[in-house]
Amino acid sequence: MEDLLILEKKGIPITIIGLPYVGKTTLVNWLKNEKFTRPKPSVGVNFEQIKVGDLMLNIFDISGQKSYRSTIWKSYVMTSVGIIFTIDSTDKEQIDEVAKWYWIMIDEWLKGNYSDKVILFLANKADLKDSLNLEYIIDKLNLTKMSNYPDLSFQIFKTSIRENQNIEYAMKWFVKKVNQLIEIQRITPEAILISDTSGNIISLYDPNKIIEDPDMFVGYLKALSGFTNELLGHEKFKVIKVNPFFYFITEEEDYCISIAVKDELTLPEARRLSFLIQNYLSKNKKNLDHEELNVYIHSLFS
């Protein structure tokens, strides 16, 4: 478990989803061995850490069974930088089901605070003769609507992993886009303040002492509670500006996390850190060790 956590930190989270039998695990194997191999049918989540180009990717290959679509797909999608949505391009019968889940992902899961992502759409098994053409798929899935989502880098490719068609090209595009996104996002925040609902400070990272009076700041946060940010239109977090810094603030049941950054453009990274810390807190809330929490926080950006 420890090892996995360390690995997770270093690699970039990528999720592969799609209905069963479309070639997800085949793709993972191809990335690993650079050749086509026949996988065993997979259930649950298959995790692989693979270096693709210059990037270390943590790849989560998620089973396509119905029960997974409505449960774990969402949490993996929301916490990944890149998503590889794979379909079997010969499967005319399930195209409506594919369309349904694709748009649930875009409209419900990615709207709001997790919207900056790279989405690679693979219409796989292009080597088979009954494979649908790209125009048909784009039309059926209404994919031209993707231009309404400027925060999402989107591209569709027809691929065959078996015949090695277009797959290298598609992965090159994907890795390049993920790399660009990471470049923009990776930063060390100016400060991180974690307080509980009673206003006690749980953790403070503030190397340059930008928060003059942390207790007063926590009091101020309590007063702000319930205020929703108009611009971002999402209740679960707010962004405030305390010159010259931007604070990304989230409140879950027990904790309030405030992360200060210098530049508005790096708020997505604050969001990512906040999410990780929130996860850590909820996993460890029974016996939270403040020292360990501080170590965890430091480990996120050093």
Ligand X SMILES: Nc1nc2c(ncn2[C@@H]2O[C@H](COP(=O)(O)OP(=O)(O)O)[C@@H](O)[C@H]2O)c(=O)[nH]1
Residues in contact with Mg ion by the rule CB under 5 A = 24-25, 42
Minimum CB distance to ligand X, residue 64 (Å):
6
Q: How far is the CB of 100 from ligand X (least distance, A)?
A: 17
Please, which residue, 24 or 238, has the CB nearer to ligand X? Answer: 24
Q: CA–CA separation, 164 vs 299, rounded Å? A: 39
Cα separation of 189 and 125, whole Å? 44
Residue 52 CB, nearest approach to ligand X (Å): 17
Separation CA 273–CA 267 (nearest Å):
10
Residues 16, 82: Cα–Cα separation, whole Å: 9
Using CB under 6 A as the binding criterion, the count of chain residues that bind ligand X stands at: 20
Q: Which two tokens stand for residue 111?
A: 């709207």
124 contact, one of ligand X, Mg ion, none, CB 5-8 Å limit per kind: ligand X
Looking at residues 151 to 180 of the shown chain, list those that interact with ligand X (rule: CB under 6 A).
Answer: 160-162
Residue of 69, 117, 125, 177 that binds ligand X (CB under 6 A): 125
Question: Residue from 5, 7, 43, 128 that binds ligand X (CB under 6 A)?
Answer: 128
For Mg ion, give the closer residue by CB, 19 or 270: 19
Which residues 5-44 are close enough to bind ligand X by CB under 6 A?
18, 20-26, 38-39, 41-42
The residue (of 40 and 283) whose beta carbon lies closer to ligand X is 40
Compare residues 28 and 277 and give the one whose CB is closer to Mg ion.
28
Per the CB < 8 A criterion, the answer to whether 159 and 123 are in contact is yes
For Mg ion, give the closer residue by CB, 91 or 254. Answer: 91
User: Shortest distance, CB of residue 191 to Mg ion, whole angstroms?
Assistant: 43
113 binds ligand X (CB under 6 A): no
Compare residues 22 and 132 and give the one whose CB is closer to Mg ion. 22
C-alpha 213/C-alpha 201 separation (Å) is 12
Peptide bond into 244 cis (omega under 30): yes
Distance separating alpha carbons of residues 262 and 243, to the nearest angstrom? 9
Query: 290-299 and 267-283 helices cross at what angle (nearest 10)?
Result: 150
C-alpha torsion 72→73→78→84, nearest 10: 150
Looking at beta carbons only, is 21 or 275 nearer to ligand X?
21
Binding mask 54-83 for ligand X (x = CB under 6 A): ----------x-------------------
Query: Per the structure block, which two tokens stand in for 195?
Result: 């307080």
**Amino acid letter at 51?**
K
> What residues does 90 pair with on adjacent strands?
none
124 touching ligand X, by CB under 6 A: yes
Please, which residues have CB within 8 angstroms of residue 79's CB and are 6 or more apart in sequence?
13, 114, 275
Residues that bind ligand X (CB under 6 A): 18, 20-26, 38-39, 41-42, 64, 124-125, 127-128, 160-162
